Amino acid sequence: MSEVVAEAALVEGKTQAGVRYRAKDKTPRSRRSKLRLRNTLLGWSFIAPNFIGFALLTLLPILALFYVSFTDWNAFGQANWIGLDNFRRLFTKEPNFEIALKNTLYYTVLHVPLTMAASLGLAILLNRKLKGVTFFRTAAFFPYICSIVAVAVVWNALFHPEYGPINEVLRFIGIDDPPRWTVSKEWAMPAVVIVGTWREMGYYMLLYLAGLQTIPREQYEAASLDGASSWQQFLYVTWPGLRPQTFFIAVMLTIGSMKVFDLVLVMTDGGPGTATLVLSQLIWNKSFKETGQFGYASSIAVVLFVICLVFTLVQFFVNKRNQK
């Protein structure tokens, strides 16, 4: 195996990353369809082990969910087709839908860029040979593995309007009337975003760290020899080299933010009032917590899905374009 690796390294050293596979251009026309069939079978043989489990346990229930969103299903008995009634009700008679949608988007817009910047910063900071770096990397990952109850308690104490350390610092630097954080309508969501970012940055840092290893050192050496500054190295070597990870993280973070649930539940439970009520919570409330209206709750999930899909498609095409 080591020979293969050594050989691989040799090839990698010589070629530029990102050159596309053009095998089919060399193939004679007559054999194209045969190759296509062969490739299809080959491709599916790779995908099948995962796909069978995925289709049965995830795809099937999700398709059922789409069907259910057009019915009055209440988790028991028959599901009667009611057409667009659920969606009509959602858009005209659900006082909290617009609020939850706005809150969810607000959370996403703040949380995604913040977390990406923080996790990339941490990854670059900790991607070096430094005494104790192992400890710091582990520490960065701790918020993600810590019990969420503990996270909520400690952060709520930090945010405490009267004797929380955060407000004490703010008063010390001259802000006489600091925010009331989790007990104010304006600041509850930013507070949740801060905790969300703090909690997840270690998680995404790990992916960026792994991504940094895939960038050949030769590229830095070449850039350095050309007299590129550190910032230029970041801009022309690191950032383009991390494109696949950035795409992955952007997509996962956006979807994860749109689906945010347990963090809000333990931090503020949607309050005060409806200041931090989000879509997943609305889904949970309408299905399990309140009246078992699974058909109706499914229609909210479908709306959430469509929004996520639009976001993902945009990111997909931006990524495709940058790839070329």
Partner 1 sequence: MTTLALDRPFKRPTTRRKVRSTLVRVLLYICLAAVAVFLLLPFFWMVVSSLKRDIDVFSVPIQWIPDAFRWEHYQEIWGVEPWKGSSMLDWLRNTLILSVVVTFLQVLTGSFAAYGFSRIRFPGRDVLFLGYIATIAVPWQAYMVPQFLLMSQAGLVDTLWSMIVLQAFGAFGVFLMKQFYETIPEELSESARIDGLSEYGIWARIMVPLTGPAIASLALLTFVNTWNDYLGPRIYLRSPENFTIQLGLQLFRSNPDVATRWDLLFTGSVLSVLPIAIIFLAGQKYFVEGIATSGMKS
Partner 2 sequence: MKMQKALALGIAAVIAISLAGCSSDDPSTDPNGSATGPVELTVSGWSLSTTPEFQVLADAFMAENQDIKVVIKEYDAADYETLMLTDMSAGTAPDIITIKQAKFTSLWVQGGQLLDVSDVVAGLGPEVSGSSSYVVDGASYAVAYRQDHWVLFYNKDLFDQAGVAYPDGTWTWDDYATAAKALSAALGQGVFGTYEHSWQSTLQGFANTQSPGANPSLVLNGEDYGYMKPYYERVLDLQASGAQESYANLTTNKLTYQGQFGKQFAAMLPMGSWYVATLTSQQASGDADGFAWGIAPIPQYDSSTTGLDKMPVTFGDPTGFAINKNIDSAKVDAAKKWLDFVASEKAGVELAKIGIVSSVSTSAVTEAYFAMPGIATDDLSKFAMSAHKTGPENPVSLNIQEIQSILNEAHSAIMSESGSVDSELAIARDKIKLILS
Q: List interacting residues with partner 2 (CB under 8 A).
A: 55, 59-61, 63-64, 66-68, 73-79, 93-96, 153, 156-157, 159-162, 180, 182-185, 269-275, 277, 285, 288-292
With binding defined as CB under 8 A, does residue 39 bind partner 1? yes
Q: Taking CB under 8 A as the criterion, which residues in 175-204 touch partner 1?
A: 198, 202-203
Distance of CA 215 to the CA centre of its chain: 23
**Residue (of 219, 311, 214, 212) closest to 258 by Cα position:** 311
Could you say which of partner 2, partner 1, none residue 290 binds, taking C-beta under 5 to 8 angstroms by partner kind? partner 2
Could you say which of partner 2, partner 1, none residue 289 binds, taking C-beta under 5 to 8 angstroms by partner kind? partner 2
Residue closer to partner 1 (CB basis): 16 or 92:
16
Which two three-digit tokens encode residue 277? 């009520």
Could you give the CA distance from residue 110 to residue 202 in angstroms, rounded to a whole number?
17
CA contacts within 13 A on the Cβ side of 88: 6
Q: Which one of 108, 137, 179, 276 is in contact with partner 1 (CB under 8 A)?
A: 137
Q: Taking CB under 8 A as the criterion, which residues in 257-276 touch partner 1?
A: 258-259, 261-262
Q: Are 86 and 299 in contact (CB under 8 A)?
A: yes
With binding defined as CB under 8 A, does residue 27 bind partner 1? no
Which range binds partner 1 by CB under 8 A, 53-61, 86-94, 106-114, 172-180?
53-61
Q: Which one of 29, 83, 163, 173 is in contact with partner 1 (CB under 8 A)?
A: 163
Name the residue type at position 51.
F
CA contacts within 13 A on the Cβ side of 300: 26
**Residue (of 49, 40, 70) closest to 301 by Cα position:** 70
Q: Taking CB under 8 A as the criterion, which residues in 102-121 touch partner 1?
A: none
Name the residue type at position 201.
M
> Can you tell me which residue has the tokens 């192992």?
134
- Rounded to whole angstroms, what are the CA distances from 201 to 50, 96, 119, 124, 128? 28, 30, 5, 13, 18
With binding defined as CB under 8 A, does residue 239 bind partner 1? no
Which range binds partner 1 by CB under 8 A, 82-90, 91-99, 141-149, 175-183?
141-149
